[in-house]
Amino acid sequence: QKKNAHEPEFLQATHEVLESLEPLINSNPAYEKNGILERLVEPERAIMFRVPWVDDAGKVQVNRGFRVQFSSAIGVYKGGLRFHPSVYLGIIKFLGFEQIFKNSLTGTPIGGGKGGCDFDPKGKSDGEVMRFCQSFMTELYRHIGPEVDIPAGDIGVGGREIGYLYGQYKRITGRYEGVLTGKGLTFGGSLGRTEATGYGLIYLVNEMIAAKGKSFEGAKVVISGSGNVATYAAEKAMAYGAKVLAMSDSNGYVYDPEGIKLDVVKQIKEVERKRIKEYAERVPSAAYHEGCREIWTIPCDIALPCATQNELDEMGAKELIKNGCYAVGEGANMPTTLEATKLFLENKILFAPGKAANAGGVAVSALESSQNSMRMSWSFEEVDAQLKNIMINIYKNISSAAAEFNAEDNFVTGANIAGFKKVADAMLAQGIV
């Protein structure tokens, strides 16, 4: 605790995991004797570096870059890169720690890592983003590789950024290989990767609610965010018959009682790179509200926080519960505070934690790596079918782990135990390293 006191998000993530692992640790003395937990909370390696670049005005800018290689117990390090002004070591550590268990839950052999930079892509020209990405990769390339560490996207890192990063990696190393995932379809990307996290979230939540006789058909859904995860969660929820009432960005949210029109959102966010506020200016039935916290006051059946960490707090949870929301699925990483999570569990709200619910993205990233190694491209339908299967299996594993430890329907406990066990057993087998 003391060592990481200045990293509240990392403490929050480790607290949640360690608390729910207690019954498993108590029944397996080998874990304690071999210092599994003590080793697991310490990254194998954390790299921090200077990222100098020149802006359009000719001025030198300097950002701070990170790559935390957290655990290679079950495979090469794998996890996204985040470009956002709030990025510091504690954010990357919390994300890297969560990634270990998430990757384990996918059933594919990948270890946990995460990286990023305090760079803000918002308002930057394409040329500035490219020069920044080239500088970032000029340091990062020596620490990654298809048999070492395979980064991907996250907040602020989409197709454009991955393209620039990949171009620079290839230029420096002279190698054309699967070192990044989320690549463009013309240079080794996988069909279905863009949709994977959002679609995967809906596949998993669908399993969770179906077990209680519920479905997305006719359900009212509130989704925070309007980035990659939020957009494709909305698309699949609508395909399953739900009405999505609201979406947001970091400035505010739009509420459309007639149901969000996703083509308008995609045009604004993906094509024009503008703010969600524009939606209300183009769609007469919608209203824009400044600030994002109030989004959870909109009555709904299912809430899907898909923006960022700690965006759904105790107040939001109380509003959702009061208004009859019966299921919450975390599309983002740790969007729900510990207090809010506790409230959901106490009130028997079905709650799918991010490390299980948003694992579809990294699962399809692993499929992209497999296609790169085989020099093959699978069809969208094939990738999507594998994704669905993976999400259904994750639900089965987390619900049976919860039941095994007398925590029926507590998917937080289920996900932590199921994700941890494989990693811990691999660590035991590999000795004290």
Residues that bind ligand NDP (CB under 6 A): 153-156, 197, 225-230, 249-251, 292, 306-308, 311, 331-333, 358, 361
Q: Is 102 annotated as a binding residue?
A: yes
Q: Is 399 annotated as a binding residue?
A: no
From 121, 141, 148, 123, select the one nearest 132 (Cα to Cα): 121
CA distances from residue 351 to 204, 305, 336, 346, 357 in whole angstroms, order as listed: 11, 11, 10, 11, 10
Q: Which is nearer to ligand NDP, 154 or 319 (CB)?
A: 154
Smallest distance, ligand NDP to C-beta of residue 404, A: 26
Smallest distance, ligand NDP to C-beta of residue 267, A: 15
Q: Is 243 annotated as a binding residue?
A: no
Reported for 21-30, long-range contacts at CB under 8 A and 24+ positions apart, including other chains, are 21/416, 21/417, 21/420, 23/405, 23/406, 23/417, 24/405, 24/417, 24/420, 24/421, 30/428
Query: Residue 110's beta-bridge partner residues?
Result: 76
d(CA 81, CA 67): 8
Reported for 24-28, long-range contacts at CB under 8 A and 24+ positions apart, including other chains, are 24/405, 24/417, 24/420, 24/421
89, 66 contact by CB (below 8 A): yes
Q: Among residues 114, 183, 355, 422, which one is catalytic? A: 114
Smallest distance, ligand NDP to C-beta of residue 387, A: 12
Angle between helical axes of 411-430 and 380-404 (0-180°, round to 10): 90
Contacting residues for 272 by C-beta, under 8 A, at least 6 apart: 278
H-only helix segments in 52-192 = 89-105, 126-140, 159-173
Q: Is 186 annotated as a binding residue?
A: no
Smallest distance, ligand NDP to C-beta of residue 142, A: 25
Q: Which is nearer to ligand NDP, 270 or 425 (CB)?
A: 270
355 is catalytic: no
Chain position whose Cβ is nearest to ligand NDP: 227
Give the pair of three-digit tokens for residue 35.
Answer: 């210092």
Q: Which is nearer to ligand NDP, 24 or 245 (CB)?
A: 245
Q: Is 248 annotated as a binding residue?
A: no
Smallest distance, ligand NDP to C-beta of residue 283, A: 17
Q: Which is nearer to ligand NDP, 154 or 384 (CB)?
A: 154
In the block, tokens 């000795």 appear at 431
Q: Which is nearer to ligand NDP, 122 or 348 (CB)?
A: 122
Exposure of 172 in the CB half-sphere (CA atoms within 13 A): 19
Q: Is 422 annotated as a binding residue?
A: no
Binding residues for substrate, as ranges, are 78, 99, 102, 153, 365
Binding residues for NAD(+), as ranges, are 197, 228
Binding residues, as ranges, are 78, 99, 102, 153, 197, 228, 365
Task: Point out the residues that are catalytic.
Answer: 114
